[in-house]
Chains A and B, each alone.
Chain A
Amino acid sequence: MSIEIKTTSVEPIRHTYSHTARRFGDKPATRYQEASYDLEAKTNFHYRPQWDANYELNDERRTAIRMEDWYAVSDPRQFYYGAYVGNRAKMQEQAETSYGFCDKRNLLTRLPEETQKLLLRLMVPLRHVELGANMNNSKIAGDATATTVAQMHIYQAMDRLGIGQYLSRIALMLDGSTGAALDESKGYWMGDQLWQPMRKLVEDSLVVQDWFELTLLQNVLIDGMMFPLVYHKMDEWLESQGAEDVSMLTEFMRDWYKDTLRWTNAMMKAVAGESEANVAQLQQWIDHWEPQVYNALKPLAEASVGVEALDEARAELSTRLKKVGLQSQGVSA
């Protein structure tokens, strides 16, 4: 008798939360679903923000993009916090091994002076671009409403801080941790003609108000040309300069970029797929920004691997955008 009672007492009375069940049905939900859907406040806000009284808190009108349901944008990687840090912890462990190895064997300081200089002038200043990306993604995480969208951007923000830190460590290895190499590299960022169009672009991105325009600019357009150019094409070029060991130190960035393509592509597909109006708005932003991104990266390409490589990167981006019905310059492969 009491055994029967015990059995019924472990029968669940429901399988998941009501807000999860409304989307996915009352069946056991994944951790991603329970952690990512409909958690944010949606209505009955008490006070208008003093920093932006035109809109309410969690106001969907902070972007010109319209979605019937912003949760149509979700993460193919299904990263909730625990899954995210678990994944990055593994990546950092590998990176740590490479950095440790490089440091111990003095692989960078053994490079010719010329090559060391190239790294400080052409690669390390990208840490500042990463800080800009960090700021932009933090803004987006604060403005986006749906948790699925907001969380991808805070992960992205923290990732960019991490990448900036890895790039900085390259310089710290070169200068014996005095900071001199970082100062030198920052000097290029501030004054070298090669970096000025890029620095202007980053500063311009910091005043973009519409958060979806910003994610398009930062995570799709800038990254979409910069990562293939720097971490693939320049990487091969550095190898030809006898600096193949540097490749070990940028493995994290390559793995990371491959990983982010999954969600940025999914996000673009969902948003462009929603309506003609969205496509028109996205196209307008692309027309405005894409040439600027190209021009910002051009001096870097010219000083290293050559403009053809940038054209290839541009074409790669164009192919990605074409898949979701958007046009950009550059010859599609």
Chain B
Amino acid sequence: MAVKNKKLNLKDKYQYLTRDMAWEPTYQKMEDIYPDERFEGIKIVDWSQWEDPFRLTMDAYWKYQAEKEKKLYAIFDAFAQNNGHQNISDARYVNALKLFLSGVSPLEHAAFQGYSKVGRQFSGAGARVACQMQAIDELRHSQTQQHAMSHYNKHFNGLHDAPHMHDRVWFLSVPKSFFDDARSAGPFEFLTAISFSFEYVLTNLLFVPFMSGAAYNGDMATVTFGFSAQSDEARHMTLGLEVIKFILEQHEDNVPIVQRWIDKWFWRGFRLLSLVSMMMDYMLPNKVMSWSEAWEVYYEQNGGALFKDLERYGIRPPKYQDVANDAKHHLSHQLWTTFYQYSQATNFHTWIPEKEEMDWMSEKYPETFDKYYRPRYEYLAKEAAAGRRFYNNTLPQLCQVCQVPTLFTEMGAPTKLSHRQLVHEGERYHFCSEACCDIFKHEPEKYVQAWLPVHQIYQGNCEGADVETVVQKYYHINIGEDNFEYLGSPDHKHWMSIKGEKPADENQDAA
């Protein structure tokens, strides 16, 4: 009787241990148990066709994740105990972390909430379990980021109130609205938006070259959490690809819906990542790879291979990818020159790049940097040297969809500002691009709801009418500590004292 059990292979074991626990309900109707599965128009004929993107049972999950966490926290402890913040390349680097903690970390938390939700919404148990595992992973990322930055927060400004700022500060509505958009959509759009378009197609641009850059700038804590988080991301990316293939294989009517989502979410993600472009090119004092190079490898090359693979389903590359590809020569420079002007209202500092950095950019952007952007910096440096560090006191016009100020230029015409407008039900709306305008046209009822920070200030909903009050009272940005120019800032002075140097005179140092 006692037969020696044969060892299960991964796939069989996983089927028995997940999906097989589900059953066909008879006391309640399917549509009452899963009320959100149909309204988007996606047709799922047979959930049993779902391919599990990875086959990790909970015992293995606990084991491997605990191992990762043990390693990670050992490094956090060592970093804090040894005052690792003193070993980074330059304190300007910390500004990238400020942007990260206020712009990205809250998204990890939103992802935790979003995946918990879709982890219940699908009637396919395999898909639910994959989403739940991502939910708890995203919670992990949100928390390890708090812990990784905790030590920096004790020694630098601008990191102290990230979740509060994320809900209010003007440029942080770019990431916030991105995720609100995905979370307020149905479950299939959420996965197309986050698992596929963001995780699979775009997050490599944030996590791989930027984290490698963190390592290159001596930031052990960040590179460790970044890469440790990415090890979960490999699973998430697989989920992203599997979910798209699954939806497309289920019914031909799904193809146009998915195509529209890919067009939309590629563009939303690309606009969000414009913040990352400036982190990479301007906020890493030791540079690894330019935004343009990263875009070529991680979007043009890898994304190209991906979309070629999806051709067989009738999917073409995202509609406005040619605009995005063209923008790689300009993006980081246009963003940085804009943020430079609005440093009075940000939780991080800006500065004029140093000479060697500008030379690096000339080399990396041979066709654009010297022609369009270097002269701006030279002018701004001259102004600063003359005691007129430039701040723009006119609040920027924000795009109704992506919420980035309308700062981008037209494809192939780098001196022509890109701007679209549209009247919808008697109201005029402004957009940064044709792509954002398209997104609006398809779902105006959604995008008219947008909480646009600049409008809100003018409408008196931000505890004050003048920028200073809004920045201090509403945003919790400590004036004179968190904001303004880097040179001469408390962070800068602090760094000089760490390095045993005399605080520099900001005017002389500007160039």
Contacts and interface: CB of A to CB of B under 8 A. Distances in A.
Interface of A: 2, 5-6, 8-10, 12-19, 29, 31, 34-36, 38-51, 57-58, 80-82, 85-86, 88-89, 91-93, 95-96, 103, 106, 109-110, 127-128, 130-131, 134-136, 138-139, 141-143, 147, 150-151, 153-155, 157-159, 161-162, 164-165, 168-169, 172-173, 176-177, 179, 182, 186, 189-190, 199-200, 203-204, 206-207
B180 interface: yes
A238 to B, nearest CB: 19
Contact of B164 (A13, A18, A95, A153): A18
B483 to A, nearest CB: 15
B498 interface: yes
Nearest to A206: B33
A81 B144 contact: yes
B508 interface: no
B428 interface: no
Interface string B53-89: 0000111011101110110110000000001001000
A327 to B, nearest CB: 28
27 contacts: A5-B500, A18-B160, A35-B143, A39-B109, A41-B176, A43-B168, A45-B451, A46-B173, A46-B451, A47-B446, A47-B449, A49-B184, A50-B184, A51-B39, A51-B121, A93-B63, A96-B59, A109-B1, A128-B22, A128-B23, A141-B116, A142-B114, A157-B136, A161-B129, A165-B18, A177-B7, A203-B28
Contacts of B156: 13
A80 B76 CA distance: 15
B239 to A, nearest CB: 15
Contacts of B294: none
B146 A35 contact: yes
B62 A89 contact: yes
A150 B160 contact: no
A127 B23 CA distance: 11
Nearest to A31: B147
B66 A154 contact: no
Contacts of A200: 27
Contacts of A58: 113
A176 B3 contact: yes
B21 interface: yes
A44 B119 CA distance: 25
B126 to A, nearest CB: 12
B120 A89 contact: no
A39 B27 CA distance: 39
Interface string B25-40: 1111000110110010
A236 B291 CA distance: 65
A172 B20 CA distance: 12
A138 B159 CA distance: 31
- What interface size band does chain B fall in? 35 or more
Q: Among B36, B66, B133, B167, which residue has the most Cβ atoms of chain A within 10 A?
A: B66
Given A138-B135, A154-B139, A155-B136, A46 B176 contact: yes
Contacts of A51: 35-36, 39, 121, 186-187
Nearest to B181: A47
A39 B149 CA distance: 14
A203 B164 contact: no
A42 B167 contact: yes
A162 B147 CA distance: 27
B348 to A, nearest CB: 16
B28 A6 contact: no
B467 to A, nearest CB: 18
A158 B136 contact: yes
A96 B63 CA distance: 11
Contacts of B142: 35, 39
A152 to B, nearest CB: 11
Nearest to A166: B59
Interface string B91-120: 000000000000001100110111011111
B69 to A, nearest CB: 4
A43 B163 CA distance: 11
Interface string B375-408: 0000000000000000000000000000000000
B60 to A, nearest CB: 9
B494 interface: yes
Contact of A46 (B25, B27, B181): B181
B426 to A, nearest CB: 21
Given A51-B36, A204-B28, A154 B135 contact: yes
B27 A203 contact: yes
Contact of A110 (B2, B6, B147): B2
A35 B16 contact: no
Given A51-B187, A130-B21, A177-B8, 14 more contacts: A13-B156, A13-B157, A15-B154, A19-B163, A34-B147, A44-B176, A45-B451, A48-B184, A80-B143, A86-B70, A92-B58, A93-B63, A128-B23, A158-B132
B21 A131 contact: yes
Q: Among A44, A92, A128, A131, which residue has the most Cβ atoms of chain B within 10 A?
A: A44
A135 B128 contact: yes
B17 interface: yes
The 7 closest A-B pairs by CB, nearest first: A162-B58, A142-B117, A89-B66, A142-B116, A12-B154, A35-B143, A141-B116
Contacts of A40: 109-110, 113, 163
Given A82-B69, A173-B5, A16 B167 contact: no
Contacts of A138: 116-117, 119-120, 128, 132, 135
Contacts of A176: 3-6
A51 B83 CA distance: 47
Nearest to A160: B58
Contacts of B449: 46-48
B480 to A, nearest CB: 13
A103 B129 CA distance: 27
A17 B161 contact: yes
